[in-house]
Amino acid sequence: MELDSLYQEVILDHYKHPLHKKLLPSYTAQVHHVNPSCGDEITLNVSIQDGLVENVSWDGVGCSISQASTSIASDLMMGKTLDQALLIVEAFSKLMSSKGNEKGDEDVLEDGVALAGVSKFPARIKCALLGWMAFKDAALQSGKN
Ligand code: ZN
């Protein structure tokens, strides 16, 4: 798999120094998501109060794409309103279904655009989506509580 070298660096940096990769003891919802086709696995905690994403923390194992992507997603969601966060997840899902034809909006996705090239590789899209789908799942569960 070949990605733009600058983007590759962003991904490797998140992989080596993942953000928020330490489960916080207090949360409003916790989910565990796996991507069996690759062996990626994450547990993700969210803390959402009054429609605001106060905290996202996670732990997991897996390939560099899945771990970097979860690091990027967790950092991006922090401090957003739940509505904003869900729109960002939607924008990222759309990017991942673009088959390499979209670059992504950096104002919305920030480091997430580094994963745009992954959309050309169907086998890896689930790796890239894992953390985002886990967040969405947790966020929606949290809203029900
Ligand atoms: Zn993977």
Ligand 1 centre distance from Cα of residue 29 (Å): 24
Ligand 1 centre distance from Cα of residue 11 (Å): 13
Expressed as residue numbers, the domain containing 7 is: 3-144
Q: Tokens for 66?
A: 């899945």
CB of 62 closer than 8 Å to CB of 42: yes
Ligand 1 centre distance from Cα of residue 50 (Å): 34
Q: Are strands 29-35 and 52-61 parallel, antiparallel or unpaired?
A: unpaired
Dihedral sign for Cα atoms in the order 145, 25, 129, 61: negative
Tell me, what's the pLDDT at 4? Answer: 74
Ligand 1 centre distance from Cα of residue 65 (Å): 6
Q: Residue 144: pLDDT band by 50, 70, 90 thresholds?
A: low
Tell me, what's the pLDDT at 1? Answer: 61
Q: What is the number of structural domains in the chain? A: 1
pLDDT at 145 over 60: no
Q: Residue 3: pLDDT band by 50, 70, 90 thresholds?
A: low
CB of 69 closer than 8 Å to CB of 131: yes
Model pLDDT for residues 60-89, shown as the tens digit of each residue: 999 999 999 999 999 999 999 999 999 999
The fraction of the chain above a pLDDT of 70, given in percent, is: 96
Residue 106, domain CATH:
3.90.1010.10
Give CA angle at 66 (16, 43), nearest 5°: 95
Supply the pTM of this predicted model.
Answer: 0.95
Tell me, what's the pLDDT at 72? Answer: 98
Ligand 1 centre distance from Cα of residue 49 (Å): 31
Torsion of CA 10, 16, 17, 19, to 10 degrees: 80
